[in-house]
Each structure stands twice: as C-alpha cells, then as structure tokens.
Amino acid sequence: MNQLVGGADQLLWVALKALLLYITAIAGFRLGERRTLAEMSAFDFVAAVAVGSIVGRVPNATTTSYLEGAITLISLLLAHRLISWLRDFPSVASFVDHPPRLLLAHGHIIEKELKRSGLTHDDLYGLLRQHGVTELSDVQVVVFEQRGKVSVIRKSDSIDHALIKDVMERTHGQH
C-alpha cells in the first residue's frame, strides 16, 4: 500500500516543495518584466513551459531538493530576463523574434509573405473578418506582427508611414 500512496512524511515534503517552487515562480515572474505574461513570443513560451516543467517535476523528484529546483528556476528566469534585454541588439532580436510581415498592401495579398508567415488565404480572410473588413480594396495594409497579432490599417485611416517603414522596406527588399 505504501507504494501506491507513499508515506505521510514523503507526501508532506512533496507538497512543501511544490508550494515553495510555486511561490518562487510567482516571485520570479513578478520581478521580471510584465511582457512575460502578456503576449508571448517564442522565447517567452519556452520560459513558461520550462517553469511549468520545473514546478511540476521537482516536487516529485526524490533526488532533487527544493534548493536545486529553485536555483534551476531562478537561472531560467534570469536567462529569460537577459534575453529580453539583449533584444535591443538587432542580431539577437532577429534570432529571438519573428519579424513583422506585410501580408496585404493596397488590396493585394503578398503571397510570398503569407507563405513565410505560415498562413493560408483562409487564415487571412478570417483575420480580416475579425477586424470587420468586408472588402480587400478597403485595406491599405495588413501587418502580421511579431507576436502573431494582425494589424489592419484601412485606406480611410491616416498613418504615419514611419510605423510601417521597416515592414515595407523588408517586403520590397525581398522581391
């Protein structure tokens, strides 16, 4: 029966390690940047999954202490914070973040960018419908942003072209 249920003292240690790691994870995320829990990029997602794995596995590991788990957790969160800061450097940002992509310009779909984004026409049409677009010709530009959201700028909207200059240059430089 002990194999099935475990000893009471062992169960208490598992519960205590889980609680302590959970509190450590909360403190680590609170000390980190807010962006971690907002719209996640790939490296945010990896950090979140890794934290979940540590918090979920360490309490049940009889050979891993709370301190070992906490150091692993804190190391991971510090690495995440460091990468967040290093994103100011274009070489790091290009490695960590997807670039924004121009999917549609002046009513015309940019097929190459749509494919690079892993989207189909149906995906794009669905996103446009969610933004209340009823005619492609009404759209000035559609940008697939770094975090997977879509920005739709209608022809009737005025836009400071500095906001989309980098996306336009990247798109036109590849054709």
CB within 8 Å of 80: residues ≥ 6 apart: 32, 36, 43, 44, 47
Mean pLDDT on 39-64: 83
Structural domains counted in the chain:
2
Residue 171 burial (CB count, 10 A): 22
Last residue of a domain, one of 42, 63, 95: 95
Give yes or no: residues 78 and 130 share one domain: no
Give yes or no: residues 7 and 86 share one domain: yes
pTM given for the model: 0.63
Give yes or no: residues 71 and 22 share one domain: yes
Give yes or no: residues 22 and 47 share one domain: yes
**pLDDT grade for 149, boundaries at 50, 70 and 90:** confident
The pLDDT, as a whole number, for residue 36 is: 46
Domain coverage including residue 135: 99-174
How does pLDDT run across 64-84, given as a tens digit for each residue? 888 999 999 999 888 888 888
Give yes or no: residues 88 and 37 share one domain: yes
Flag whether pLDDT at 175 surpasses 50: no
Give yes or no: residues 35 and 119 share one domain: no
